[in-house]
């Protein structure tokens, strides 16, 4: 196996006026070459912070513990120069809001070429050729003209294509996409997801897709990690997570969404209660308060993530009993 990223006991904490906030706690995860892995969870589940922390992009009051091994090197021990060499080259990240990720006063072409000049030391004409190639694979019409335009002249969907192109020009080992289609309309989302599908088929890059949309995960990912309250609660191959979710939270998530392939004329099976307060995480399972199947033990003792089969893990006391 060819491991690209290995997170070991990754923990992220924020110091705030109101006290410590544990955004991510003891996360262990490996990502193999060419794999597309979906990270699913609600806001505050720690899905974005996990990867921001791994790449040294946390806010100033954040603290990361554990190890994040990229091809065997610990990213958390690197200084800024070493990280800068990797980021944008071997590891790239794209964000939800493409409008604020691009430099507003630089032409799109310059921004894209800059990446290649900085990381690969390409001459401008070589860089330009590669940029054209990538833009073409993003199915952007009228490329020559587009390269001379500024970000504000692009629509949201087009800007997201540029972001993906920028993330791909150096052929990274790992592409992290944080809610890449959430801000887009469905018909544009379909276009972008199609690009990701082509990308998966034609490159060896590993993709991490951070999203709250299980539909997007279903179409694209090989493996799924479900996070809740800063911890991984379940991990499984994509077919299994939809066919037989083991954790009550995953089960609840799948049941509570209205779907176009099923028609219900009853109420949705909502998950009761509110997401947990990360400043006051309970002693037991973070989901226990909202879990309809919770037993006494769930409130007093935190379940550990157990290996259920070679490819599946879940953290729930109910699975011990069974």
Interface positions with other proteins (CB under 8 A): 42-43, 141, 155-158, 185-191, 193-194, 212-219, 238-239, 242, 252-254, 256-261, 263-264, 267-272, 274-275, 290
Toward other proteins, which CB reaches closer, 60 or 258? 258
Q: Report the C-alpha gap between 52 and 115 in whole angstroms.
A: 20
Toward other proteins, which CB reaches closer, 118 or 188? 188
Toward other proteins, which CB reaches closer, 26 or 213? 213
Toward other proteins, which CB reaches closer, 22 or 182? 182
Minimum gap (Å) between residue 10 Cβ and other proteins: 23
Minimum gap (Å) between residue 8 Cβ and other proteins: 29
Q: Report the C-alpha gap between 28 and 133 in whole angstroms.
A: 37
Toward other proteins, which CB reaches closer, 155 or 300? 155
Toward other proteins, which CB reaches closer, 169 or 217? 217
Minimum gap (Å) between residue 192 Cβ and other proteins: 10
Minimum gap (Å) between residue 120 Cβ and other proteins: 32
Minimum gap (Å) between residue 128 Cβ and other proteins: 25
Toward other proteins, which CB reaches closer, 55 or 214? 214
Minimum gap (Å) between residue 173 Cβ and other proteins: 25
Minimum gap (Å) between residue 52 Cβ and other proteins: 19
Q: Report the C-alpha gap between 119 and 103 in whole angstroms.
A: 18
């Amino acid at each position: 196996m060819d491991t690209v990223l290995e997170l070991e006991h990754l923990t992220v904490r924020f110091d705030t006026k109101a006290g410590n906030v544990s955004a991510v706690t003891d996360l262990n995860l490996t990502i193999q070459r060419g794999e597309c892995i979906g990270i699913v969870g609600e806001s505050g589940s720690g899905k974005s912070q996990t990867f921001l922390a791994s790449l040294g992009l946390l806010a100033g009051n954040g603290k990361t513990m554990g190890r994040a091994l990229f091809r065997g090197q610990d990213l958390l021990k690197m200084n800024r120069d070493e990280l800068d060499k990797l980021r944008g080259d071997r590891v790239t990240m794209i964000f939800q809001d493409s409008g604020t990720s691009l430099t507003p006063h630089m032409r799109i072409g310059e921004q894209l070429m800059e990446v290649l000049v900085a990381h690969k030391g390409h001459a401008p004409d070589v860089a330009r050729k590669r940029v054209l190639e990538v833009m073409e694979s993003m199915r952007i019409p009228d490329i020559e003209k587009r390269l001379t335009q500024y970000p504000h002249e692009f629509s949201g969907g087009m800007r997201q294509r540029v972001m993906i192109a920028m993330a791909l020009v150096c052929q990274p080992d790992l592409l992290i996409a944080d809610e890449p289609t959430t801000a887009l309309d469905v018909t544009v989302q379909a276009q972008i997801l199609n690009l990701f599908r082509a990308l998966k088929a034609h490159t060896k890059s590993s993709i991490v897709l951070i999203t709250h949309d299980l539909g997007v995960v279903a179409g694209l990912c090989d493996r799924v990690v479900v996070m809740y309250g800063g911890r991984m609660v379940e991990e499984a191959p994509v077919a299994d997570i939809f066919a037989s979710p083991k954790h009550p939270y995953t089960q609840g998530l799948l049941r509570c969404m209205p779907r176009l392939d099923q028609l219900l004329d009853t109420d949705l099976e909502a998950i009761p209660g509110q997401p947990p307060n990360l400043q006051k995480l309970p002693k037991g399972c973070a989901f226990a308060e909202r879990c309809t199947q919770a037993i006494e033990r769930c409130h007093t003792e935190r379940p550990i993530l157990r290996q259920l089969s070679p490819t599946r893990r879940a953290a729930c006391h109910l699975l011990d009993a069974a």
